[in-house]
């Protein structure tokens, strides 16, 4: 898979577990589609978020779609990517941001970049 940033040095399993739990906890506080359960999946050093397609804009049957990809960078910074469902690619929306900022952007998503 093509990702917009090269991954940083591999984190330990405990660090990845902690980050995954932090993502799951943050997603419970999101603004959009609070009644569905998104999944946080590990993809190498990155984390991919999937959720049922509540709006049915992407999947008319309401199936599970990719929502976001969080790619670690240097110095505890992250790249937050949105899925371009029409082209089947990831598009970097925010680069070189702290994890707290990325989580806020993902959970509020005022421009519906991640929760279509």
Edge to edge, the sheet with strand 64-72 lists 39-43, 46-52, 64-72, 77-84, 89-98
Total domain count for the chain?
1
Written as six digits, the tokens of 24 are 């799951």
Q: What are the φ and ψ backbone dihedral angles of 7, each rounded to 5 degrees? A: -70, 150
For 4-55, the pLDDT digits (tens) are 544 455 567 888 999 999 999 999 999 877 888 999 999 999 999 998 886 6
**Does some domain include residue 6?**
no
Question: Distances in Å between the alpha carbon of 79 and those of 15, 33, 57, 58, 96?
Answer: 18, 23, 25, 23, 6
**Residue 94 counted as domain residue:** yes
| pTM of the predicted protein model | 0.83
116 lies in some domain: no
Q: For residue 3, tell me if it sits in a domain.
A: no
Q: What angle do CA 22, 45, 77 make, to 5 degrees?
A: 65
Q: 79 is in which domain, residue-wise?
A: 13-108
């Amino acid at each position: 898979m093509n990702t917009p940033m090269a991954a940083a040095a591999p984190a330990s399993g405990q660090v990845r577990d902690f980050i995954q739990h932090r993502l799951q906890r943050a997603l419970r506080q999101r603004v959009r589609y609070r009644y569905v359960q998104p999944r946080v999946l590990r993809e190498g050093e990155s984390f991919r978020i999937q959720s049922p397609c509540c709006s049915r804009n992407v999947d008319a049957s309401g199936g599970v779609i990719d929502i976001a990809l969080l790619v670690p960078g240097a110095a505890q910074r992250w790249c937050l990517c949105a899925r371009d469902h029409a082209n089947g690619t990831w598009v970097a929306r925010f680069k070189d941001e702290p994890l707290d900022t990325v989580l806020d952007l993902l959970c509020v998503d005022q421009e519906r970049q991640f929760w279509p």
